[in-house]
Amino acid sequence: LHQSGLTGYRLLTDECGEVFYQQIVQYMQETLGSQGVQLLLNKMSDRERKTEEADLKAKQAETGGSIDRYDSEMNQASQKSRQAAQEAENRQQQEGQISTQPAPTQPQADNPISIIKRIMKMGILELVLPPGREISTRTVSKDTMVSGRQLQQGMEMPDGVTADSSYTSGVLFQQYLMNHLGNYTDPSKESLAYQMEYVFGGRDNDIDNLKSVASKLLFIREGVNFACLMADNVKRTEAQALAAAIASGFLVPPAAVVIESALLLCWAFAESVLDVRELFAGGKIPLVKTSADWQISLSNLSSLMEGLDSMRKNNDHGLSYEDYLQVLILPVSKEKKVMRAMDMIEDAIRKKGRANFYMDSCVVALEAFAEVKANRKKEFQVIRQYCYE
């Protein structure tokens, strides 16, 4: 043997974890088969489409500024009312008349908007988590994880890895994570308890990751529910009647339209709180509701906090928390999902007793050479590649 050595090697984390990603995709293709892959794709694409529509509706409802416009209208109405009362009193004094009769007052309709506005400012987990369930407070040190430290790099090999950005591979990769990582309804015993929530949020602790998922769930449900209200003539009529009564009580009938928009937004928010709370309690909620699926009436809006657990209801034909979580994670970039998945898997392996395990020390392919002289006459060189198939 004259000389030998390595001319190239590839690590599991090279190319932002592309090898890791493709190994998982290949495993899922072999496990599910072509029919199983197609069923999974059909299910996920339909949910993703409906969720994107809901997300758009939620943003439209939010940018409408219904609550801000309501506040502005009510402030103006209050100022005008005080101004009118002051002017009437001044006229009476100028005319030398002092009225002993109190000014007539309009009967005030029950206005739930101010109550819902206060609830909107509450902590998200306080609103949506059912009582009696302990929340994980685990944390991780991100600077020691794959996504937070300087990774080792392999030596370039002639046949490089081609990045796979197909939709099918993305769905298969994510399904693998759902099958193997923990979440709120099925916590992990190693690493963070809510690993899938970490893939979504990327925070270094379970509580913040759970908050990010809960906030996004509430946002999406609010968009769907607002759209359902807008399409329901019966509920729109209820909201219009109450808005007219509130506006009349404030002596500003023109503000009825703004009050109606604020009422619908508050109604959608209250319904969404019950939805997300039911999901965290282990129930199911349909992505798009009918009138029969609705949980809270307009007259009960002011009693939302008292009915958080008595008014919500499960729908067996709906989606579970895990179903919604999977849809939420789909839009997260491939790079973030891959890096965060490697974080969780590496940390879980360390917690199982291999404290010095590093994903960027895992060799998945190598190329070696040897120069040999045989029988003192022939000299030749051998180059071989070895890799996991």
User: In whole angstroms, how far apart are CA 38 and each of 31, 164, 252, 322, 324?
Assistant: 13, 18, 58, 20, 20
Residues 79 and 131: their CA atoms lie apart, in Å, by 43
Tell me the chain's radius of gyration from C-alpha atoms.
30
Whether the pLDDT of residue 87 is over 90: the answer is no
Whether the pLDDT of residue 44 is over 70: the answer is yes
363-374/378-387 β-pairing:
antiparallel
Whether the pLDDT of residue 271 is over 80: the answer is yes
Q: Which residue has the higher pLDDT, 70 or 324?
A: 324
Phi/psi at 251 (5° precision): 60, 35
The structure tokens 């019950």 sit at 274
Residues 293 and 285: their CA atoms lie apart, in Å, by 9
Q: Closest by alpha carbon to 13, among 178, 159, 146?
A: 146
From 94-103, 123-132, 136-145, the region with the lowest mean pLDDT: 94-103
Query: Is 221:214 a contact under the CB 8 Å cutoff?
Result: no
Query: Is 40:172 a contact under the CB 8 Å cutoff?
Result: yes
Q: Which residues pair with 205 in a beta bridge?
A: 139
From 10-14, 90-94, 122-126, 254-258, the region with the lowest mean pLDDT: 90-94
Whether the pLDDT of residue 289 is over 90: the answer is no
Residues 83 and 43: their CA atoms lie apart, in Å, by 60
Q: What would the mean pLDDT of 173-195 be, rounded to a whole number?
A: 93
Q: Closest by alpha carbon to 221, among 51, 47, 43?
A: 51
Residues 345 and 334: their CA atoms lie apart, in Å, by 16
Q: Whole-prediction pTM value?
A: 0.84
Whether the pLDDT of residue 88 is over 80: the answer is no
Output the 3-class SS for the chain. Answer: CCEEEEEEEEECCHHHHHHHHHHHHHHHHHHHHHHHHHHHHHHHHHHHHHHHHHHHHHHHHHHCCHHHHHHHHHHHHHHHHHHHHHHHHHHHHHCCCCCCCCCCCCCCCCCCHHHHHHHHCCCHHHHHCCCCCCCCCCECCHHHCCCCCCCCCCECCCCCCCCCCCHHHHHHHHHHHHHHCCECCECCCCCCCCHHHHHHHCCCEHHHHHHHHHHHHHHHHHHHHHHHHHHCHHHHHHHHHHHHHHHHHCCCHHHHHHHHHHHHHHHHHHHHHHHHHHHHCCCCECCCCCHHHCCCCHHHHHHCHHHCCCCCCCCCCCECHHHHHHHHHCCCCHHHHHHHHHHHHHHHHHHCCCCCCCHHHCEEEEEEEEEEEECCCEEEEEEEEEECC
pLDDT band at 101, cuts 50/70/90? low
Residues 133 and 114: their CA atoms lie apart, in Å, by 30
pLDDT band at 357, cuts 50/70/90? very high
pLDDT of residue 124: 93
